[in-house]
Amino acid sequence: MEKNKQYNLAVVGATGAVGREMIKMLEIRQFPVKSIKFFASSHSVGKKLKFNNKEIRVELLDKNSGQDIDIALFSAGAKISKIFAPYFVSKNCYVIDNSSAWRMDSNVPLIVPEVNSNFLNKKNKLIANPNCSTIQMVVVLKPIYDITKIKRIIVSTYQAVSGAGQTGIKELSEQINAWSNGKKLVNDKFQYQIAFNLIPHIDVFTDNGYTKEEMKMVNETKKILNDDNIQISATCVRVPVFRAHSESVWIETEKNLDLKQIKNVLSKSVGVCLIDNPKLNKYPMPIIAENKQNTFVGRLRKDISINKNNALTFWIVSDNLLKGAALNAVQIAEKLVSMNLV
């Protein structure tokens, strides 16, 4: 990496929940920015967002917006990414896309830096950021996978409303306020009332009875770990929490597991924070993970329902707007720089 080199960046979808967090992460992690542009839809054009104490005017996205940009962070939805990401790439710009548009494209690397940054290269300028619930799971799975291959995963997620964007956050807040004041609760973004409720339905249902969100976890995990033989089943649930997704994960491995070894490895893994002391009621929770850059894991225990010694269950929590989206994208950009790819 060339010392003191700086880069021209763009954030597409800058005014959205994830876009704003991308901007914040670039600041906090002191990414070497020479210049930065913010792009959004027509109703946000002209707004000003702060970056490093400077006000930057939001511009309208068009097919020439990628000119002279080194790295663009996209979080404007799959439709926008499908249209505009290729224009940016055609101008020799790396695009790190947070939508579902390119994740399962065989020509597009699906990257979690702690897991598979070796798939980054100069040939593939378009890079996909995985689904939020997938990212936090594979960050914890990879250190275990390096000890012994994982044969099967069963995961249930408890996903915060911020996973549905600003409108999800607003709806939960408005419903809580309405309930507090004895008013009728109105649901628009979610299928049902989300305040004081759980909804076992994220994204649309597919023909096999699983939702798209659940199938994202299945397919993306296999691609990231580069292992199509892992058997995976997921149930994704929306919960009345503003930030940070939680997951209950069960795995079956090829070799027998040493619980002490697993805990030791996870405690030393980059990006992972082990909180696992049941005697003191210490375990990960959304209120601990909110606005934190680590992925938290705890409640590690052997599965007592089978005789074999190769099944483990645990609990994972991570801020879905950070490691689940914005932070992971910025970390990919950092990898591109550290690997001298840009």
Judge if 175 and 295 occupy the same domain.
yes
Is the pLDDT score of 243 beyond 90? Answer: yes
- Mean pLDDT for 219-245 is 98
Judge if 59 and 188 occupy the same domain.
no
pLDDT the model gives residue 43: 85
Distance CA 195, CA 30 (A): 37
Assign 3 a pLDDT band (cuts: 50, 70, 90). Answer: low
State pLDDT tens for residues 30-57: 999 999 999 988 888 889 999 999 999 9
Query: Sheet of 231-238: strands edge to edge?
Result: 231-238, 150-159, 245-253, 311-318, 295-302, 272-274
Could you give the angle at the alpha carbon of 128 between the alpha carbons of 328 and 157, nearest 5°?
60
Distance CA 302, CA 25 (A): 37
Instruction: Note whether 136 and 324 are within 8 A (CB).
Output: yes
67 inside domain? yes
| Distances 157 to 82, 98, 178, 239 between C-alpha atoms, Å | 28, 20, 27, 9
Judge if 308 and 329 occupy the same domain.
no
Report which DSSP code applies to 179.
Answer: H
**What's the gap between Cα 38 and its chain centre?**
21
State pLDDT tens for residues 135-191: 999 999 999 999 999 999 999 999 999 999 889 999 999 999 999 999 999 999 999
Which range marks the domain in which residue 157 is found?
Answer: 134-319
Judge if 169 and 307 occupy the same domain.
yes
- Mean pLDDT for 272-289 is 97
Is the pLDDT score of 71 beyond 80? Answer: yes
Calculate the average pLDDT of the chain. Answer: 95
Judge if 108 and 203 occupy the same domain.
no
Q: Any catalytic annotation for residue 43?
A: no
1 inside domain? no
101 inside domain? yes
> What's this model's pTM, rounded to 2 decimal places?
0.94
Judge if 82 and 68 occupy the same domain.
yes
Judge if 84 and 119 occupy the same domain.
yes
Task: Give one DSSP letter per residue of 120-166, joined into a string.
Answer: --SS--EEEPPPHHHHHHHHHHHHHHTTS-EEEEEEEEEE-GGGG-H
Name the catalytic one among 93, 236, 245, 273. 245
**Total domains present in the chain:** 2
120 inside domain? yes
119 inside domain? yes
Distance CA 238, CA 285 (A): 16
pLDDT the model gives residue 2: 59
Name the catalytic one among 93, 132, 236, 273. 132
State pLDDT tens for residues 178-220: 999 999 999 999 999 999 999 999 999 999 999 999 999 999 9
- Mean pLDDT for 112-122 is 96
23 inside domain? yes
State pLDDT tens for residues 20-30: 999 999 999 99
The CATH number given to whatever domain includes residue 147 is 3.30.360.10
Distance CA 12, CA 41 (A): 9
Judge if 49 and 155 occupy the same domain.
no
Q: Any catalytic annotation for residue 132?
A: yes
Assign 4 a pLDDT band (cuts: 50, 70, 90). Answer: confident
- Mean pLDDT for 256-273 is 96
State pLDDT tens for residues 288-342: 999 999 999 999 999 999 878 899 999 999 999 999 999 999 999 999 999 999 9
Judge if 177 and 305 occupy the same domain.
yes
What are the helix (H) ranges across the chain? Answer: 17-28, 78-90, 113-116, 132-145, 166-180, 212-225, 259-267, 286-289, 327-338
Judge if 334 and 273 occupy the same domain.
no
pLDDT the model gives residue 44: 87
263 inside domain? yes
Judge if 329 and 313 occupy the same domain.
no
Judge if 193 and 271 occupy the same domain.
yes
Which value, in Å, is the radius of gyration of the alpha carbons in the chain?
A: 20
2 inside domain? no
Distance CA 154, CA 251 (A): 6
Would you call 22 helix, strand, or coil by DSSP? helix
The CATH number given to whatever domain includes residue 23 is 3.40.50.720
